[in-house]
């Protein structure tokens, strides 16, 4: 065969390859997300009052299987998980019933869908709140009567290992359990590695807060709203510096906002402590 004929056949083969390649569909298209307008549900950016009920309804689809759906809301860089679920189906309809942010803010809600082959898609909408939840004002308590920060000490040591949040004073081993809203829960077996774990002796429950700051929450209405938006109530909490919690005190209807200033571990003396400040409604 002549060189020119070989060259021509080669060019034809290359052309055919490119034509076929350009006409081929993506072997793994990304999953789809479609907002649904259903009973006033949100389908795009919106402005609304704070602490108001809303819903987001959406379909997720994939040519194979949707594996997971994750929804997060973000305010000023603070992320609040709203949903994290496994689907394992070609399509699903999801409805979220929530409340808007209880303070004036811009909150971005993002839905991320991942399929069984690893491809993912995200869609977002923004909720701008123009008012805050209302209620009685909260007072912040940051120092005791001696101008010292509040602390709960290692309960196995010589200092006060519990605290009365309603009275604002430390409690020792001999004080009534009913007054111990916060209690260090270190056991004798843990003294070598103090866990920095708080509980209560009177049934007080705790929720960790991630979407708000200590400064954001200024009244009882916001405190209730944040409690309702903050997930599972816990009997004990392993704390770290910078953590924010709400304590729901079972002996009253009161809630208290707690900010952890420091978690200090010491060696061999049981003088470990959690340092904190708190907000509550004053009588």
pLDDT tens per residue, range 143-167: 999 999 999 999 999 999 999 999 9
On whether both 112 and 156 belong to a single domain, the answer is: no
Q: Do residues 144 and 204 both lie within one domain?
A: yes
Task: Give the predicted TM-score (pTM) of the model.
Answer: 0.84
Query: Are residues 158 and 114 located together in one domain of the fold?
Result: no
Region 194-214 average pLDDT:
96
- The helix/strand/coil state of 78 is strand
Instruction: State whether 86 and 114 are in the same domain.
Output: yes
Structural domain total, the chain: 2
Residue 1 pLDDT > 90, yes or no? no
pLDDT of residue 4: 44
Of the candidates 155, 163, 190, the one whose C-alpha atom is nearest the C-alpha of residue 247 is 163
Is residue 16 a part of any domain in this protein?
A: no
Higher pLDDT, 127 or 18: 127
Mark residue 276 as left, alpha or beta (left: phi above 0; alpha: psi -120 to 50; beta: remaining). beta
Residues 129 and 99: their CA atoms lie apart, in Å, by 11
Give the integer Cα–Cα distance in Å for 15 and 5: 15
Q: Kindly state whether residues 153 and 276 are assigned to the same domain.
A: yes
36 is a domain residue: yes
Is 6 part of a structural domain of the chain? no
Last residue of a domain, one of 129, 160, 192: 129
Residue 12 falls within a domain, yes or no?
no
- 43 and 104 assigned to the same domain: yes
Residue 10, pLDDT above cutoff 70: no
The verdict on 77 and 156 lying in the same domain is no
User: Three-state SS for 267?
Assistant: coil
Q: Is residue 249 in a domain? A: yes
pLDDT value at position 282? 85
170 and 276: one domain? yes
Query: What's the CA gap between 261 and 197, in Å, rounded?
Result: 15
pLDDT tens digits for 206-249? 999 999 999 999 999 999 999 999 989 999 999 999 999 999 99
Assess if residue 18 is contained within a domain. no
- 226 assigned to some structural domain: yes
Q: Which domain holds residue 79?
A: 32-129
Instruction: Give the pLDDT confidence score for residue 25 in this predicted structure.
Output: 60
Q: Classify residue 235 as exposed, middle or buried by CB count within 10 Å of its CB (0-12, 13-18, 19+).
A: exposed
pLDDT of 26: 61
CATH (domain of 121): 2.60.40.10
pLDDT of residue 253 exceeding 50, the answer is yes
pLDDT at site 261? 97
| pLDDT for residue 28 | 75
In a domain, 158, yes or no: yes
Residues 12-45: tens digit of each pLDDT: 444 444 444 444 466 779 999 999 999 999 999 9
Band of pLDDT at residue 259, cut at 50, 70 and 90: very high
- Position 9 pLDDT exceeds 90: no
Domain boundary among 129, 164, 199: 129
pLDDT of residue 231: 87
If asked whether residues 85 and 36 sit together in one domain, one would say: yes
Last residue of a domain, one of 81, 110, 129: 129
- Please indicate, yes or no, whether residues 233 and 149 belong to a single structural domain of this protein: yes
Residues 152 and 268 in one domain: yes
**What does the alpha-carbon distance between residue 147 and residue 84 come to, in Å, rounded to a whole number?**
44
Structure confidence by residue, pLDDT tens digits, 41-88? 999 999 999 999 999 999 999 999 999 999 999 999 999 999 999 999
The answer to whether residues 151 and 99 belong to one domain is no
């Amino acid at each position: 065969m002549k060189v020119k004929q070989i060259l021509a056949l080669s060019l034809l083969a290359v052309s055919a390859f490119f034509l076929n390649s350009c006409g081929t569909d993506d072997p793994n298209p990304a999953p789809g997300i479609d907002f649904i307008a259903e009973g006033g549900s949100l389908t795009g950016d919106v402005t609304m009052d704070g602490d108001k009920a809303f819903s987001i309804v959406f379909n997720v689809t994939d040519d194979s299987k949707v594996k997971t759906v994750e929804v997060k809301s973000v305010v000023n860089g603070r992320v609040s998980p709203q949903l994290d679920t496994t689907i394992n189906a070609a399509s699903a309809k999801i409805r979220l019933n929530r409340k808007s942010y209880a303070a004036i803010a811009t909150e971005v809600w993002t839905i991320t869908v991942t399929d069984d082959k690893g491809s993912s898609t995200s869609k977002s909408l923004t909720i701008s709140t123009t008012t805050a939840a209302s209620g009685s004002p909260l007072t912040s308590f940051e120092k005791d009567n001696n101008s010292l920060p509040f602390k709960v000490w290692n309960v196995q040591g010589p200092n006060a290992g519990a605290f009365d949040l309603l009275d604002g004073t430390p409690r020792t081993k001999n004080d009534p359990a009913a007054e111990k809203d916060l209690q260090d829960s270190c056991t004798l077996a843990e003294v070598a590695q103090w866990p920095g774990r708080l509980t209560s002796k009177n049934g007080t429950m705790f929720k960790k807060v991630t979407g708000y700051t200590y400064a954001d929450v200024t009244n009882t209405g916001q405190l209730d709203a944040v409690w309702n938006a903050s997930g599972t109530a816990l009997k004990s909490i392993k704390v770290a510096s910078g953590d924010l919690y709400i304590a729901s005190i079972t002996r009253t209807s009161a809630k208290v906002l707690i900010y952890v200033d420091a978690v200090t571990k010491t060696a061999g003396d049981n003088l470990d402590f959690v340092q904190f400040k708190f907000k509550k409604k004053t009588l």
